[in-house]
Chains A and B, each alone.
Chain A
Amino acid sequence: MVAVRFHGRGGQGAKTASRILGTAAFVSGYVAQDSPIYGAERRGAPVAAFTRFGRDPIRERGAIAHPDVLVVADASLLDDAAAHVLDGVTGQTVLFVNSSLSADRLRTHLTLPEHVTTRDVTGVALQQLGAREAISALLGAVAARVVGLEWEPVRSAIDRELRDLGLAEPVLERNLTAARLCYDSVEPARLPQGAVQAVGAASLHHPAYEPPTKGTARIAAAGNSVLRETGGWRTFRPVLVADRCNGCWLCFAYCPDGVISMNREDRPVVDYAHCKGCQICVHECPTHALIAEREQEGGVAWTAK
């Protein structure tokens, strides 16, 4: 059995990538399962998904604690302790990271396993699909190549899964082209064969009753959400070209997160620690004084003080 764990941010397509891999494996004649961690995940928030496939029936279920292959849809997640990306990774784990940085560059500040591949999947997506489309097909294709699946089942899996999501034909075609580029850009990895994962015995706990005064989560601090920085959600940052700005306040009025303030000269000041990069301000600025610049990597998706 091969166990693959995907990490991404809500909206990037890690969940669908995991489905694509599962379907591709199934079409290739394996038994397969895939499941995302399902919670109240939002665009930008860390999410994970799991795919297992093999020749024999698979009895394990749920989260994959020790992945054979780890696919990381966003390099910034590696720095984010709350995302638990590197949990359960051993020296044998094959790691793929969507990043324009080399594995050695990533190693300068991270402890990573021996087999690390990086590719700028976002760059391919930007070129082939346009701004900020989900990269599920691309990641699914990379993962499928790494575990050694043929292209044809991968193509048919992408077609099936994206069609299911209601993607239009031309978008589907562009995804297939981009996915093929990514598929061809990586090599199959040598995976440990038939390694059996230890499954711990289940133990049942009886939760004790606590009265609501004790058992209910209470927040006593006011407005402390600012301690949590969401700046790492961005793929693009809004940047002001000051001499184009006419000081109209529209960017301030429309920013949903309230992270634009107007200074004394009526120029917008963006709180980059919290700006999520939605680009509403960029779209709505009547004089095009706000432009979108692609973020350089290394930011932290979600930090808490």
Chain B
Amino acid sequence: MWQRETFKKIKQIPREEHVLPGTALCAGCGGLEALRLAAKVLGDHVVYVNAAGCFTMLAAYPYSSFKGSWLYTTMGSAPAGAQGIRDALDVLIAKGRVPKDEDVKVIVLGGDGSTYDMALSSTSGAMNRKLDFYYICYDNEAYGNTGMQLSPATPFAARTATSPCSLQHPGATQEKKDIFEIWRAHRPPYIATVAPRYPLDLAEKFARAAAYTGPKMFLALSACPTGWGYDPGATPEVAKLAVETGLWPLKEAVNGVVTHTYIPKRKPVEAYLQLQGRFRHLFEPTVHTEAIRHIQGQVDAYWRQAIQEQA
């Protein structure tokens, strides 16, 4: 059984904020919630390396939400930027110009469009070179900042600006790319999935990752009221159902060995889908039983295998 060691109860969440308010991100942004919780563990001695996306708005001239540093890069090159920053820091540490005990961390902050798509080769390179960095992908399952276009992280049947829904087009026709397994094939020391509604699970994973040198990869479910079509107040509910239906497994991989950190009882996927405008066409005006059954089938198959492997 996986157990939390550092974060056992809610009141252990550090009070200090490291992502300051006044941001231009939407009210109720699930990605921001995940980052805020992660930053409580990561602290202020950080250099964020950001790929263009919603989070770019967190440090858009002339305002920054961070006490640490921030470098803005193109969508395809954040991990390469991280390599440059890490190397420069190491040189400065060697020259005695940056104190080693400040333990400055380099953290890539990329959306799913960047992570699953444009920066995949750059990420692969960084993992292959065993770059000592964190990677946080905030996954809102579409190219959000430009108006919610289909990305390889978009789940099957979801409506996006470029996967419209009509009788001919039942939303996205491809399946969500399994970036966790693509990362795992590179054998980085630490990979984890997290979700904002599970703050202790999230904080614990960032605390555990600190023990490893090399790539520490995080995939954060970023429930997105604007793009997914639900009321901003429902972000925790949506994130919770993503986990409770089994659609978003909470897990980690330490040196390639996978552990599920929470085994959901698995509510029917409808509970999750029905909350969101991007899946409404599956229920109205007629119910697309086939598509829903397909989604349920994928989840069931995933957990059958996961439980078998864990046993």
Contacts and interface: CB of A to CB of B under 8 A. Distances in A.
For the residues of A in contact with B, the DSSP-based class is loop
Interface stretch (B27-35, B120-128, B181-189, B241-249): B27-35
A226 B20 contact: yes
A111 interface: no
Interface stretch (A49-57, A119-127, A135-143, A278-286): A278-286
Nearest to A228: B22
B19 interface: yes
Which of A40, A45, A282 is packed against the most chain B CB atoms within 10 Å? A40
A257 interface: yes
B63 A278 contact: no
Given A253-B13, A253-B199, A278-B28, A219 B63 contact: yes
Contact of B66 (A222, A229, A252, A254): A222
A226 B10 contact: no
Given A132-B231, A271-B21, A283-B237, A43 B64 contact: no
Contacts of B291: none
A280 B28 contact: yes
A169 B284 contact: yes
Contacts of B177: none
Which of B63, B68, B229 is packed against the most chain A CB atoms within 10 Å? B63
Given A248-B10, A253-B13, A277-B27, A225 B32 contact: no
B21 A225 contact: yes
Interface string B212-235: 000000000000011001011111
8 contacts: A166-B281, A217-B61, A223-B67, A225-B23, A253-B13, A258-B21, A277-B27, A278-B28
Interface of B: 10-11, 13, 15, 17, 19-30, 32-33, 36-37, 54, 56-59, 61-68, 70, 145, 147, 159, 165, 196-197, 199, 225-226, 229, 231-237, 277, 280-281, 284-285
Given A10-B26, A223-B20, 10 more contacts: A222-B67, A227-B22, A228-B63, A256-B36, A256-B196, A257-B27, A257-B36, A274-B21, A277-B27, A279-B231
